[in-house]
Amino acid sequence: MDAASCDRERFSSRSIGFLFLGIAAVLFIVGLVILPVIGFVFAVPLLVIGVGMLIAPESKACRLIRRGLRAG
């Protein structure tokens, strides 16, 4: 694994997080308008997953690589 792989990993995690947040927002709106219970049942877990993906820390391997690149 190198620094470029770490950047791709971070971009991928953030992209998936934003995708889940978008889907959760759509389901939330649909839940408000059409099917309140069903929309919320699917929107809340996707919202939690999306936020989790956005704030997830980078892997230990990437932290070690970045720390090594800064020190060197």
The number of distinct structural domains making up the chain is 1
Percent of the chain with pLDDT over 90: 26
In this structure, is residue 60 part of a structural domain? yes
Phi, psi torsion values for 35, nearest 5 degrees: -125, 85
In this structure, is residue 59 part of a structural domain? yes
* Greater model confidence, 21 or 68: 21
Note the pLDDT tens digit of each residue in 19-41: 999 999 998 898 888 888 888 88
In this structure, is residue 25 part of a structural domain? yes
In this structure, is residue 48 part of a structural domain? yes
Write out the residue range of the structural domain in which residue 23 sits: 3-67
- According to the 3-state scheme, what is the secondary structure of the chain? CCHHHHHHHHHHHHHHHHHHHHHHHHHHHHHHHCCHHHHHHHHHHHHHHHHHHHHCCCCHHHHHHHHHHHHC
Give 58's pLDDT tier (boundaries 50, 70, 90).
Answer: confident
In this structure, is residue 72 part of a structural domain? no
Measure the CA–CA gap between 54 and 67, rounded to whole angstroms.
Answer: 21
